[in-house]
Chains A and B, each alone.
Chain A
């Protein structure tokens, strides 16, 4: 197919290939940090799911953790009650989360920014409260323990060294990323961008805005469910904080830190965020929250594009200086 200027291509660039080599190199260079590594990969996957709905469709969601939590509890409960096979558990979690996403998407796409904000927030809080009250099933505030995973493919057990967890998370992240990458480069992805840039004009060229938004919201929810399930499976525990508002807020911070609407921004933001958190939160949890807030204010005031936006601007300047 001939390239049309301005339209995205399917080809992987050098930067992308180099980017995906990094987690592979990290596996061999930092064998002691594989647990943190898989946390980063999971957070990256979760941020990726938000990027699809926020970065591409501009739906402001304050309750995206709802789907993460639904996925986590689905995978956790399945494993607790005897279905410990990881991959089918992952598929089940994705299905359930996507179903919840589909049902709630009808409520979400109805309103405008403020209503959407409130409805997503309300859905998140509702699920949190439901999990909190149904403590006989979910374990309530104590969390869901007793999650026992069977080895991956019957061979690789989830051990203390975190090797299986890391490789498993990385593989899932990469597969989902390829899917998301294809999705946003497809005509469907382009129509989402069209909605983002001018929602009122899209019906004029024959695009049903609510239908597109429902689809992407459902996909985003399903991917968030996969991320939640990964967390449940690799840590063999589900805390009620997987559903909480702070998780939704932190997720947004990761995404805007990395930059919205690039897919890679979500992964970079998650990595930077998690490393910073690991370092600073150990010093003091209160200070960490303060710096987090300050960081957010600073991003909004001075660095709208996030890290990816900044990097792309630098790259463009460099290209221009060469010509």
Chain B
């Protein structure tokens, strides 16, 4: 029983870590640009497919295909931000929602047309398969790997945001765009770069997640709620908030599906609505 509990907790944390990597970009888009981007999952899907293509067509090993996923999604993010997203920063939330639903539909149709509607397989390297024994308990090697990657990314992001000049510019732009622009910060460039970074991380998450979340054309729609949830519950514009929210969601989702499978995804939706009502501003409220 206790072993089960630890196993569920572990799987939940691994799952939550994955949600965190994918959603952190969305947190930035919502916090920095105040843009409700439902189509964020499409960047993750793009990363996933880039990963699969890099492995099957180019013959790259799994680990080498992950940077490919990051770069492709980041580039797509820059292009879309310049061409489309930028024009809607000042639009109403309704317009942004409609626009991003439109993008989701196009992404789903595009992916179905290019790759077919079936699940994409991924072949993990041998050292990431099977179990690892730690302190007398068996852990899935790949899930352990996921957690390590997320810890590394979180540390790197925290360093980037807290310690670098670019991070200071991002924080300043989040707090007050006009004053930042007045101080000579190129807010537009900050927007573009952070959007690219967020899309890239989503792509990386998509690649990492093929084994856990699966990959088929309905991906952006299937997981849309989860990504939105992480940001809405965690509070947009921070790193800590979405991280906590993602871990909580991951654990509840895995635990719900393990202990009360007959309820299915019901648990997670109840948790979501409850958390939104208790913390309307998110777990870690942004400074006004």
A287 to B112, CA, bound (A): 10
Interface of B, helix, strand, loop or mixed by DSSP: helix
A253 contacts across to B, CB distance below 8 A: 98, 101
Task: Check if A115 is an interface residue, CB within 8 A of chain B.
Answer: yes
Stretch binding the partner chain, chosen from B70-78, B85-93, B138-146, B163-171: B85-93
| Neighbouring B residues of A9 by C-beta, 8 Å | none
B-side contacts of A125, CB under 8 Å: 225, 265, 269
Instruction: Collect the chain A residues with CB atoms within 8 Å of residue B94's CB.
Output: 54, 58, 60, 256
A238-264 to B contact mask, C-beta < 8 Å, 1/0: 000000011001001100100000000
Partner of B264, one of A60, A133, A249, A256: A133
- Scoring B88, B101, B276 by chain A CB atoms within 10 A of each residue's CB, the highest score goes to B101
0/1 per residue, A53-82, Cβ < 8 Å to B?
A: 010001010100000000000000000000
Q: Is A12 an interface residue when CB atoms closer than 8 A count as contact?
A: no
Which chain A residues border B98 with CB–CB below 8 Å? 252-253, 256, 296, 299-300
The CA-CA distance from A246 to B269 in the complex, in Å, is: 17
- Determine which of A122, A132, A294, A300 lies in contact with B95 in the assembled complex, contact meaning CB atoms within 8 Å: A300
One of A117, A126, A129 near B93 (C-beta < 8 A): A117
Q: Is A111 an interface residue (CB 8 A)?
A: yes
Interface residue? B272 (CB, 8 A): yes
- The total number of A-B Cβ pairs within 8 Å is 121
- Asked if A289 is an interface residue, CB under 8 A from chain B, the answer is yes
Contact B232 A300 (CB under 8 A): no
In the complex, A115→B232 CA distance in Å?
7
Residues in A with CB closer than 8 Å to B232 are 114-115, 118
Name the interface residues of A84-127: CB closer than 8 Å to any CB of B.
Answer: 107, 110-115, 117-119, 121-123, 125-126
B21 contacts A by Cβ under 8 Å: no
B253 nearest CB across to chain A (Å): 13
In contact, B269 and A295 (Cβ under 8 angstroms) = no
**Which residues of the partner chain A approach B24 to less than 8 Å between Cβ atoms?**
none
Verify if A185 is at the interface (C-beta below 8 Å from B).
no
B273 at interface, CB cutoff 8 A:
yes
A130 interface contact, C-beta 8 A: yes
A245 to B, closest residue via Cβ: B221
Q: Within 8 Å CB of A111, what residues of B?
A: 276, 280
Beta-carbon contact of A122 and B101 below 8 Å: no
**Interface range on chain B: under 10, 10 to 19, 20 to 34, or 35 or more?**
35 or more
Other-chain contact of A114, B36, B88, B265 (Cβ < 8 Å) = B36
Inter-chain contacts of A287 with B (CB < 8 A) = 109
B276 touches A296 (CB 8 A): no
Nearest Cβ in chain A — how far from B88, in angstroms? 7
**B84 at the A interface (CB under 8 A):** yes
B109 CB contacts on chain A under 8 angstroms: 286-287, 289-290, 293
Other-chain contact of B102, A60, A117, A246, A294 (Cβ < 8 Å) = A294
User: Assuming A60-B93, A125-B225, A290-B106, is B265 touching A117 (CB within 8 A)?
Assistant: no
Enumerate B245-288 residues with CB–CB distance to A below 8 Å: 262-266, 269-270, 272-273, 276-277, 280
Contact of A107 among B97, B106, B273 (CB under 8 A): B273
Measured CB to CB, the closest approach of chain B to A137, in angstroms, equals 14
11 A-B pairs whose Cβ atoms sit less than 8 Å apart in the complex: A62-B97, A111-B276, A118-B272, A119-B277, A126-B266, A126-B273, A130-B266, A249-B105, A286-B113, A293-B102, A300-B99
Q: Which residues of A contact B (CB under 8 A)?
A: 54, 58, 60, 62, 107, 110-115, 117-119, 121-123, 125-126, 129-130, 132-133, 245-246, 249, 252-253, 256, 286-287, 289-290, 292-297, 299-301, 304
Residue numbers of B with Cβ under 8 A of A are: 30, 36, 84, 87-88, 91, 93-95, 97-99, 101-110, 112-113, 221, 225, 228-229, 232, 236, 262-266, 269-270, 272-273, 276-277, 280
> Assuming A118-B276, A122-B276, A126-B270, what are 18 further A-B pairs, CB within 8 angstroms?
A60-B97, A62-B97, A107-B273, A112-B280, A118-B232, A119-B277, A121-B225, A126-B269, A126-B273, A249-B105, A252-B98, A253-B101, A286-B112, A293-B104, A297-B84, A297-B102, A300-B98, A301-B99
